[in-house]
């Protein structure tokens, strides 16, 4: 490879991979086999280096979302861009950072402006592979004796990215021009310093420049830390060993991901559909075209080949939406690393697993590949559809693991992530806009052998944690009135999902505060993820708020306040307080039309995860425990789980009566069941007549079938519809 430019090397690597099936054409891992000790030592040292960068960078950085929520990452890359190893943090980013570095090379930056020690390159532009504006991706070329030997990279999620609405979850952005401050594949500094005009731009184009610049310093400090220590490492192990072993790490990790698929799954094709709604009609919007309800199809087809190769397809994905919920294919593939790291490639984590699968280019013009057709599509919150699509991965792999007997590896689908962002004058008197950490900790999916855990899991970050309420209060003008576990939020099944929680806030000490109940992967009216193997799904995300309230009077009179969501049929916010403007439930996502004021109340539930198995097979003893903790209601226990319990101070389950009741339920089910053919015949009539279909539903099917003609043909053939049938 000597003498080749980086761009030529990328091309040569691509050809070698196509030819041999091994990254960089590495059929044998020579360094590994010849020097096992040094190979492992180097891996250990480099991984540790990234974590030191993480520690340094996070302490310098200033986003609660980065530091306490873990939405940040530092990495070390090959000269050609592949991630060698990364710090802790969000495992979706390494793919993105790797692709960004490749992109800098492929766009000819090696010639102009050239790569030099101390240069800082950044991107957050989805048109060039960025995921969304608040994720500032950075790369620094690292040189040894004049030769580019590696890259250091970093990403932090900033508190405000200057989009049309305050904060960082731009679900309401009508187009890319409203996504905020845009860094389009730029050199933004040299000699370890940002250009002065970079800081000027941040100051003039984001609402929280001190915080955004604090993050910039954090990214830089981490990367400089990597560089300084890397030189010592190369001196110790020698440059040739370093360059060759680091390539082998990436190939080795590809083999690890393939190996797990080979030993723990079965070959075959498996599909999962999933739908995401955006209920936006008659709401506070930016442009007229947004006065519409949308439904998005997020289908996944996974095929495991005889060689354990994994192919993923999004055939049937619906069209773009006039909101922030569109994502570039590069970002989507990179985001997939996140799910893959939980399920398949969690050891030796780097770019390797991305070469262990093949993602078919999503249909052009769909939410997953918008720009060729709709250049101005917004990606303000590209994560939102991506994480929900990724949730399918747990179920499809869960089924494959189960077939091979790896029950302990099964996980039903993920919880959803509805965000809360606040903007306004804080209690300390300065302006701040940004995310809370509430959504960073959901219930975990039900497992093949046990319930999920409460508030200990998150699809977008392994560092699942909601932090401390007292810390959040330092940043935002709110007081917590509650943060307890939400009953029945983990679906209903033999094993239930881990439960989520409900945050209740009272606005406090501010002249006014915007509440943006945002979409980072939530559902409003439709059931999205369904649970596995006969489980019933959990309820959709359902926040509420009360503006201009009588809470002050209630406090003065020492009357009961709002501390929980309460029963769905009589929410506490409805019964306990009065308000001029009571939105209960307020269909999410939304931005409050006018700023909230002191003593206003917000009830913001965070989803639990999905369940597994038939609810009438749930151990009655587990129901008794849940009843006594208040984690399920007597109604759910009796109607859904068929449990007969009596209450005398505490709940006691009557085992015999429960068995009898369950037998009855099974009989009732048989009575209402019909043969498939019969159901199909009746249902076909409705489909053909487009009966009872909302315009959002029709739009979705129309675009799905149009953008993926073979999918359309398959759909018509399933329902036996004429070849020219359209929704």
Least distance between other proteins and beta carbon 41 (Å) = 4
Which CB, 293 or 395, lies closer to other proteins?
Answer: 395
Is residue 555 involved in binding other proteins (CB under 8 A)?
A: yes
Could you say which of 563, 661, 702, 716 contacts other proteins (CB under 8 A)? 563
Which CB, 176 or 386, lies closer to other proteins?
Answer: 386
Least distance between other proteins and beta carbon 507 (Å) = 11
> Scanning residues 502 to 521, which ones bind other proteins (CB under 8 A)?
504, 506, 508-509
Could you say which of 110, 303, 473, 548 contacts other proteins (CB under 8 A)? 473
Which CB, 502 or 708, lies closer to other proteins?
Answer: 502
Cα–Cα distance measured from residue 57 to residue 335, given in angstroms and rounded to the nearest whole number: 22
Q: Which residues of 528-549 are buried (b: 16+ CB within 10 A; e: fewer)?
A: bbbbbbebbbbebbbbbbbbeb
Is residue 680 involved in binding other proteins (CB under 8 A)?
A: no
> Scanning residues 205 to 264, which ones bind other proteins (CB under 8 A)?
210-211, 213-214, 217-218, 220-221, 224-225, 228-229, 252, 255-256, 259-260, 263
Cα–Cα distance measured from residue 645 to residue 623, given in angstroms and rounded to the nearest whole number: 9
Entry field: residues in the chain:
727
Instruction: Return the range that interacts with other proteins (CB under 8 A); candidates 51-59, 325-333, 363-371, 698-706.
Output: 51-59
Token code pair at residue 169: 């979850």
Could you say which of 179, 325, 409, 519 contacts other proteins (CB under 8 A)? 409
Cα–Cα distance measured from residue 122 to residue 327, given in angstroms and rounded to the nearest whole number: 19
Could you say which of 455, 516, 529, 544 contacts other proteins (CB under 8 A)? 455
Helix (H) or strand (E) holding 428: none
Least distance between other proteins and beta carbon 225 (Å) = 6
Which CB, 218 or 540, lies closer to other proteins?
Answer: 218
Least distance between other proteins and beta carbon 359 (Å) = 20
Least distance between other proteins and beta carbon 464 (Å) = 4
Which CB, 352 or 587, lies closer to other proteins?
Answer: 352
x/- letters, 345..384, toward other proteins (CB under 8 A): -xxxx-----------------------------------
> Scanning residues 135 to 194, which ones bind other proteins (CB under 8 A)?
192-193
Contacts of 196 (CB under 8 A, 6+ apart): none
Is residue 557 involved in binding other proteins (CB under 8 A)?
A: no
Q: Residue 707 in 3-state DSSP?
A: helix
C-beta separation of 78 from 163 below 8 A = no
Instruction: Give whole-number Cα distances, 403 to 265, 268, 445, in Å.
Output: 7, 11, 19
> Scanning residues 413 to 452, which ones bind other proteins (CB under 8 A)?
427-428, 440-441, 444, 447
Could you say which of 7, 12, 16, 41 contacts other proteins (CB under 8 A)? 41
Least distance between other proteins and beta carbon 656 (Å) = 26
Which class for 689: exposed (0-12), middle (13-18), buried (19 or more C-beta within 10 A)? exposed
x/- letters, 619..648, toward other proteins (CB under 8 A): ---------xxx------------------
Instruction: Give whole-number Cα distances, 481 to 250, 488, 502, 566, 571, in Å.
Output: 48, 21, 10, 14, 15
Nearest to 586 by CA among 597, 574, 575: 574
Which CB, 564 or 600, lies closer to other proteins?
Answer: 564
Cα–Cα distance measured from residue 126 to residue 528, given in angstroms and rounded to the nearest whole number: 26
C-beta separation of 532 from 412 below 8 A = yes
Helix (H) or strand (E) holding 346: none
Instruction: Give whole-number Cα distances, 204 to 123, 199, 281, in Å.
Output: 18, 9, 33
Least distance between other proteins and beta carbon 659 (Å) = 27
Q: What is the DSSP letter of 85?
A: E
> Scanning residues 57 to 116, which ones bind other proteins (CB under 8 A)?
58-62, 64, 67-68, 88, 91
């Amino acid at each position: 490879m000597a003498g080749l430019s980086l761009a030529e090397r990328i091309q040569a690597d691509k050809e070698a991979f196509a030819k041999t099936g091994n990254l960089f054409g590495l059929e044998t891992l020579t360094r590994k086999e010849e020097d096992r000790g040094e190979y492992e030592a180097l891996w250990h040292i480099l991984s540790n280096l990234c974590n030191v960068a993480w520690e340094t960078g996070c302490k310098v950085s200033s986003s609660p979302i980065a530091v306490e929520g873990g939405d940040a990452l530092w990495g070390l890359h090959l000269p050609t861009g592949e991630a060698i190893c990364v710090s802790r943090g969000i495992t979706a980013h390494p793919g993105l950072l790797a692709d960004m570095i490749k992109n800098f090379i492929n766009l000819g930056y090696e010639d102009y402006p050239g790569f030099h020690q101390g240069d800082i390159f950044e991107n957050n532009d989805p048109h060039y592979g960025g995921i969304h504006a608040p994720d500032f991706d950075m790369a620094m070329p690292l040189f040894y004796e004049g030769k580019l030997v590696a890259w250091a990279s970093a990403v932090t999620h900033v508190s405000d990215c200057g989009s049309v609405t305050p904060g960082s979850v731009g679900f309401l952005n009508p187009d890319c021009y409203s996504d905020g401050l845009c860094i389009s594949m730029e050199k933004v500094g040299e000699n370890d310093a940002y250009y002065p005009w970079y800081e000027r731009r941040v100051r003039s184009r984001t609402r929280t420049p001190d915080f955004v610049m604090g993050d910039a310093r954090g990214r830089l400090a981490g990367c400089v830390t990597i560089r300084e220590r890397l030189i010592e490492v190369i001196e110790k192990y020698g440059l040739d060993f370093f360059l060759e072993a680091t390539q082998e790490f990436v190939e080795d990790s590809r083999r690890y991901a393939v190996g797990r698929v080979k030993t723990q799954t079965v070959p075959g094709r498996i599909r999962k559909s999933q739908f995401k709604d955006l209920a936006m009609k008659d709401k506070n919007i930016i442009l007229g075209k947004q006065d519409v309800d949308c439904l998005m199809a997020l289908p996944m087809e996974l095929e495991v080949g005889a060689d354990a190769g994994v192919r993923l397809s999004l055939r049937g994905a619906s069209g773009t939406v006039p909101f922030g919920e569109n994502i570039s294919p590069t970002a989507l593939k990179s985001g997939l690393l996140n799910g893959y790291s939980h399920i398949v490639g969690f050891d030796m984590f780097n770019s390797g697993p991305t070469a262990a699968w093949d993602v078919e280019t999503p249909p052009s013009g769909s939410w997953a590949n918008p720009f060729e057709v709709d250049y101005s599509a917004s990606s303000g919150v590209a994560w939102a559809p991506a994480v929900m699509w990724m949730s399918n991965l747990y179920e499809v792999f869960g089924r494959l693991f189960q077939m091979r007997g790896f029950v302990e590896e099964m996980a039903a689908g993920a919880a959803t992530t509805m965000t809360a962002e606040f903007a306004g004058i804080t209690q300390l008197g300065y302006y701040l806009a940004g995310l809370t950490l509430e959504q960073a900790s959901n219930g975990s999916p039900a497992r093949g052998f046990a319930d999920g855990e409460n508030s200990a899991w998150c699809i977008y970050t392994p560092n699942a944690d909601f932090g401390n309420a007292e810390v959040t209060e330092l940043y935002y003008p709110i007081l917590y009135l509650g943060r307890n576990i939400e009953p029945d939020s983990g679906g209903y099944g033999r094993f239930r999902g881990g439960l989520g929680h409900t945050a209740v806030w009272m606005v406090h000490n501010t002249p006014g505060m915007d509440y943006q109940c945002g979409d980072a992967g939530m559902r409003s009216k439709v059931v999205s993820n369904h649970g596995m193997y006969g489980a019933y799904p959990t309820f959709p995300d359902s926040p509420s708020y009360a503006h201009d309230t009588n809470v002050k009077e209630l406090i003065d009179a020492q009357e009961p306040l709002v501390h929980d969501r309460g029963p769905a049929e009589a929410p506490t916010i409805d019964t306990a307080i009065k308000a001029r403007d009571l939105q209960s439930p307020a269909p999410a996502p939304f931005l409050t039309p006018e700023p909230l004021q002191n003593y206003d109340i917000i009830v913001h539930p965070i989803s639990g995860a999905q369940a597994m198995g038939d609810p009438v097979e749930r151990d009655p003893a587990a129901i008794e425990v849940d009843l006594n903790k208040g984690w399920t209601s007597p109604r759910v226990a009796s109607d859904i789980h068929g449990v007969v319990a009596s209450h005398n101070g505490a709940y006691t389950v009557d085992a015999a009566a429960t068995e009898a009741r369950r037998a009855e339920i099974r009989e009732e089910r048989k009575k209402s069941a019909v043969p498939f053919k019969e159901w199909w015949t009746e249902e076909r009539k409705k489909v053909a007549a487009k009966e009872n279909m909302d315009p959002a539903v029709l739009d979705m099917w129309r675009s799905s079938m149009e953008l993926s003609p073979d999918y359309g043909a398959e759909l018509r053939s399933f329902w036996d519809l004429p070849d020219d049938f359209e929704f």
